[in-house]
Structure 1
Amino acid sequence: MEGFKEEAKRILAFWSEHMVDHKYGGFYGQIDGRNQLHPDANKGAVLNCRILWTFSAAYRTFGSPTYLQVAERAFHYIMNYFIDKTHGGLYWELDSKGDVINAKKQIYAQGFAIYGLTEFYLATSNAKALELAINLFHLLEKHKDTHHGGYFEAFTQDWKPLADMRLSAKDANEKKSMNTHLHILEPYTNLYRVWKDKRLKGALRELIIIFREKIVDPASYHLNLFFNEAWGVKSTDISYGHDIESAWLLLKATAELNEPALKGQIHMLAVNIARAATDGIQQDGSMIYEKKPDGIDMDRHWWVQAEAVVGFMYSYELTDDKMYLNLASNLWAYIQSYLVDNVAGEWFWSVDDNGRPNRIDDKAGFWKCPYHNGRMCFEMISHFSFE
């Protein structure tokens, strides 16, 4: 496999050349699927934190001052506009000028802030970034579920219970989700790399155990997606992309803890999850989106393919089973043939079963960020030494 360095630079160029908001600061909120810029689109916390992570990681990977400048832009915009200086945490959504539209405290967004801030700290040694990441950690721990374990989905601006806790309109309105816990596991892993705090270590270990004992289905090794407060399962859908993404993120988290017994258990679990995720692989080498009781979503989403490349490579590294190497190679070939937009740049949101690109959903926006595909490239370059 090759071409990851070139692809990373193409992705980064799209964002640095087309998404910088020179009028109001930070980054534009949307370029649609037909490559039209919407300068008045709202700006989301998740998008901005993912930009911060991506360009910080890009600077660590390539050393380009251009990537550092974009990362610094994201950091300062988050500090100046998204941080709630009264109640703590990040606002969920701003308008194009930076005024608060939705002040709720979605835990998913706080997690991505920690992820971006710690990566920025790794890139720059900026003490304020680490301080804010640590403060957010303490805030999340203050509001976690101390009875049943884990993290609630969302709160009001002043951290009170919230009736509608959904991350997005397509999600179930339940108190806990796999997705939020996955994206707390991820930033806590990154934070522990730079801050060897005893409480953080315990929280990270608890998250790993929650995945092992509550989230991963012990019969199928697919991930359950939604839960009530007491971890009762409230969904039957299968998300193949989250399966494979969780497999390698669990490995990274466990590696940071350096506990041999737990490491052995999670290695076995991760391989079983990866094997279960192969249920979503199609004859053309791609991975479909999800399976629901009423049918299968056959679209090939950009982030699913990217996470699958990385996840199967980690499975190959663990097992030396060339099946996983072939799966990753075939996915990368599919991405290059169908998902990369060689005309306008970046990747399409998805393509259908016949390889036709989706031009309705965003090219860049509230949820379409450079994080999944950018991270795939960085992992392939830095961890697996593919150029």
Structure 2
Amino acid sequence: MKVDLAKYQQELNQELDNILSFWKNFTIDEVNGGFVGKIDHNNHIDEIAPKGSVLNARILWTFSASYNLKKNPGCLLLADRAFAYIKDHFVDQEFGGVYWMLDAKGKPLDTKKQVYAVAFTIYALSEYFIASKFEQSKNLAISLYTDLLAHSYDQQNGGYFEAFSRDWKALEDLRLSNKDANEKKTMNTHLHVLEAFTTLYRIWPDEQLKNNIIGLIDNFTSHILNKKTGNLILFLDENWNQKSDIISYGHDIEAAWLLLEAAEALHDQKLIDEIKILALQMATISKNGIDIDGSLWYEFDPSNHHFVKEKHWWVQAEAMVGFFNAWQISGNESFLQISLNNWAFVKSNIIDHQNGEWFWGITETGEIMNSEDKVGPWKCPYHNSRACIELIRRIGVGLSF
């Protein structure tokens, strides 16, 4: 298996370089600064497209994390560019937090405070500090963390509310996207707040932050995890009552390894052991979404027993890491084989070998989803680059034994 892992690592190294090259060559906005807001399936740049906070935070994270792995000066330069743009345009200097969307010229277009976007910015700024040692980045990450505690944290029931107006007032429409339920708490936001706080803790081991990470892990184990099915509940009300039955395979397998990453960052062995058991359970249940071709389906609706059998790019990326993580915990090589099979599917079906980057996904009947973006508010270099980075690191540790 060591030979297979060496080949896996080599291919991931090459693919990470390919992803970074695409973003370097096609997404720099030489006219308005920062990075372009949209590129379609055929690599046509929309020069007047709005610029999303999630996209820009994920660009900053990707080039920072890639520099931290490879020490390529070009990655740090692009991370510097992304940081400057976020600091100068996305951060709300008056009320704190970050704007949801800017116009193409960098002016605020949608000023709502989506906690998901603030979390991704904390995540990216923390990773950038590791790369740059730039104190302003660390201080800004801490400031945004303080904003979330002041405005989003539920003092009564724990957890974090979804969204606010620019000045942190309540909103009627809390949804992250049109397909989401309009509920006050979501699995997705809590997962990425956890991810952000975990990376912030690496650069700022604050005791209150540690307790908040423990609290987030408890939110998952006590409320967000469906005790009957073992899957995550996507939408909940302020009292943690379940508001959705949909199973998201990509989020389940992503959470399996991110929860363990958070526990390990705290160096709490009891908690690590508990989350390892949970991660294995979640990976095992996620096998229910594996297709015969090695890919992972998108969703399952238990109410009508309907599978959404699309194969989205980010779901495959998270499957590669999540099942590899399950193999590392258990030594069960069936998990490793799922990761390898998923990578084989990605190479054959998801990577755009002609124009670069990854397609949005493949339909249930096997067609490329060519109406979706190559670059956009949700199509970013984060899931695929992170899968490469995470697996390169993990395989590197294994090969050194």
TM range (shorter): over 0.9
1:363 Cα deviation from its structure 2 partner: 0.6
The alignment status of 1:221 with 2:252, answered yes or no, reads no
Q: In the TM superposition, what whole-angstrom CA distance separates every residue of 1:271-313 from its partner, at most 9, and x where no partner exists?
A: 1011111111011110000112353211100000000000011
Q: Which residue of 2 aligns with 1:11?
A: 19
Q: Which residue of 2 aligns with 1:96?
A: 104
1:8 Cα deviation from its structure 2 partner: 0.3
Q: Which residue of 1 aligns with 2:342?
A: 331
The alignment status of 1:302 with 2:313, answered yes or no, reads yes
Q: Which ranges of structure 2 fall in alignment gaps of 5 or more residues?
A: 1-7
Match of 2:395, SS state, is: coil
The separation in 2 between residues aligned to 1:202 and 1:139, in whole angstroms, is 17
Residue in structure 1 matching 2:140, options 132, 157, 162 = 132
Residue in structure 2 matching 1:193, options 192, 198, 202 = 202
1:352 Cα deviation from its structure 2 partner: 1.6
Q: In the TM superposition, what whole-angstrom CA distance separates every residue of 1:154-211 from its partner, at most 9, and x where no partner exists?
A: 0000011111000000000000000000000001000111111011000000000111
Q: Which residue of 2 aligns with 1:279?
A: 288
The separation in 1 between residues aligned to 2:269 and 2:14, in whole angstroms, is 37
Using structure 2 for the length normalisation, give the TM-score. 0.95
Asked if structure 2 preserves the Cα contact closer than 8 Å seen for 1:282 and 1:288, the reply is: yes
Equivalent pairs, count: 387
Using structure 1 for the length normalisation, give the TM-score. 0.98
Q: Which residue of 2 aligns with 1:320?
A: 331
The separation in 1 between residues aligned to 2:183 and 2:41, in whole angstroms, is 31
1:263 Cα deviation from its structure 2 partner: 1.5
The alignment status of 1:248 with 2:257, answered yes or no, reads yes
Q: Which residue of 2 aligns with 1:73?
A: 81
Residue in structure 1 matching 2:52, options 27, 31, 44 = 44
Q: Which residue of 2 aligns with 1:342?
A: 353
Match of 2:232, SS state, is: coil
Match of 1:101, SS state, is: strand
Q: In the TM superposition, what whole-angstrom CA distance separates every residue of 1:204-229 from its partner, at most 9, and x where no partner exists?
A: 00000111111111121110000000
The alignment status of 1:174 with 2:183, answered yes or no, reads yes
1:35 Cα deviation from its structure 2 partner: 2.0
The alignment status of 1:60 with 2:68, answered yes or no, reads yes
The separation in 1 between residues aligned to 2:385 and 2:241, in whole angstroms, is 35
Residue in structure 1 matching 2:127, options 119, 123, 136 = 119
The separation in 2 between residues aligned to 1:78 and 1:9, in whole angstroms, is 24
The separation in 2 between residues aligned to 1:203 and 1:324, in whole angstroms, is 31
Match of 1:160, SS state, is: coil
AA at the equivalent of 2:105: K
The alignment status of 1:110 with 2:79, answered yes or no, reads no
1:356 Cα deviation from its structure 2 partner: 1.9
The separation in 2 between residues aligned to 1:270 and 1:296, in whole angstroms, is 23
The farther-off stretch of 374-383 and 174-183 is: 374-383
Q: Which residue of 1 aligns with 2:4?
A: none
AA at the equivalent of 1:341: D
Residue in structure 2 matching 1:290, options 295, 299, 314 = 299
The separation in 2 between residues aligned to 1:261 and 1:37, in whole angstroms, is 50
The separation in 1 between residues aligned to 2:365 and 2:344, in whole angstroms, is 16
Asked if structure 2 preserves the Cα contact closer than 8 Å seen for 1:34 and 1:360, the reply is: no
Match of 2:155, SS state, is: coil
The alignment status of 1:35 with 2:7, answered yes or no, reads no
1:261 Cα deviation from its structure 2 partner: 1.7
1:32 Cα deviation from its structure 2 partner: 1.0
The separation in 2 between residues aligned to 1:122 and 1:355, in whole angstroms, is 41
AA at the equivalent of 1:55: F
Deviating above 6 A after TM superposition, structure 1's stretches of 4 or more consecutive aligned residues are: none
1:23 Cα deviation from its structure 2 partner: 0.4
AA at the equivalent of 1:356: E
The separation in 2 between residues aligned to 1:246 and 1:281, in whole angstroms, is 17
Q: CA RMSD in A?
A: 1.1
1:34 Cα deviation from its structure 2 partner: 2.5
1:139-158 map, 5 Å = 139-143=147-151, 144-158=153-167
Residue in structure 2 matching 1:372, options 371, 383, 386 = 383
The separation in 2 between residues aligned to 1:134 and 1:222, in whole angstroms, is 32
Q: Which residue of 2 aligns with 1:351?
A: 362
The separation in 2 between residues aligned to 1:250 and 1:326, in whole angstroms, is 22
1:264 Cα deviation from its structure 2 partner: 1.3
AA at the equivalent of 2:267: N
Q: Which residue of 1 aligns with 2:219?
A: 210
Q: Which ranges of structure 1 fall in alignment gaps of 5 or more residues?
A: none
